[in-house]
Amino acid sequence: MLQPDPPARLAQIQEVEFTESTREFFSQWNNDFFLNVDKNPVLRTFAHHPALANAFSPLNIHLLTENTLPVRQRQIAIMRTAWICNCTYMWSSHLRTTQRCELPTALFDPIKQGADDPYFTPFEAVIIRATDQLVEYKTISGENWEVLSTEWNKQQQLDFMFTVGCYVMVAGVMNSAGVERAENLLELAAEFGAPESRRL
C-alpha cells in the first residue's frame, strides 16, 4: 500500500469551484504535451489565483515545449533542480515527463548523485554544476559559463537560466503549499526514489 502524501496546506480547487477564469487558465495547457490538465494537482492549486496563474503559465509552457535546449539537457537541469530543492512533487512528476520524452530511466540515479557521477558526459556534468550554482548562489562560475558557451548559443544560455530559476520558484510553491501526488506519481517515486519532502 503506497503511503499518501500529507494533506496539502493549500488544497486543490474542486470541479464545483471552476469558473470561466479557471477554464480559461486550464485551456492554455491543452496541447499534446500535457495530460488531464483540469485534474493536475499543481494546476488546480495555481487555479486559486487565475490572474497570477495566467501570467505565469506562458513561461512554464515555453520552458517545457519551446525550450531551445535539447530535451535531455532540459530534463537534467529540471530534475537536478527538483532533487536539490527537495521538491518531492516536482521530482516525481518529472520522472513521468522524462519517460514520456523517451529518455532512459538510467538518468535518475546519476542525477541524484550529481556532476561527479561517471554516467554523464563532460558537458552534462557542467550543466549539473551550473544548475547547482544557480540554485545555491544564483550565479554561474566563469569556468562553467565558458564551457556552456562552447556548445550553447545565447538563446540556449537564457533558456537554461530561466529553466532553473523558474523551477526553483515553483519548487518553493510546491513545497510550501504541500501539493499532493496522485497514485501514479507515488508509484513512480516508489520505483525510482524521490527526495524527502521538505516542510518546515
For residue range 1-14, what is the model confidence (pLDDT) as tens digits? 578 999 999 999 99
Query: Is the predicted pLDDT of residue 168 greater than 70, yes or no?
Result: yes
Whether residue 196 has pLDDT greater than 90: no
Whether 77 has a pLDDT exceeding 70, the answer reads: yes
pLDDT of 155 over the 90 cut: yes
- Per-residue confidence band for 74, with pLDDT thresholds at 50, 70 and 90: very high
The pLDDT of residue 123 is 98
The per-residue pLDDT for 173 is: 97
Domain ranges of the chain: 25-66, 74-200
Instruction: Give the pLDDT of residue 1.
Output: 58
Given a contact cutoff of 8 angstroms between Cβ atoms, the answer to whether 185 and 89 are in contact is yes
The reported pLDDT for the residue numbered 49 is 95
pLDDT reading at 16 higher than 80: yes
pLDDT at 2: 78
pLDDT of residue 197: 79
150-168: average pLDDT: 98
* Residue reference for cell 532512459: 104
- Lowest-confidence segment of 22-26, 59-63, 137-141 by average pLDDT: 22-26
Please, what is the average pLDDT of the chain?
95
Options 3.90.1150.10, 3.40.190.10, 1.20.1290.10, 1.10.3720.10; which CATH number does 74-200 get? 1.20.1290.10
> How is 109-171 classified by DSSP, letter by letter?
HHHHH-TT-TTS-HHHHHHHHHHHHHHHHSS--HHHHHHHHHH--HHHHHHHHHHHHHHHHHH
Residues 84-101: tens digit of each pLDDT: 999 999 999 999 999 999
Are 86 and 175 a contacting pair, CB within 8 Å?
yes
Is the pLDDT confidence value at 199 over 90? no
Report the alpha-carbon distance of residue 160 to residue 96 in Å, rounded.
21
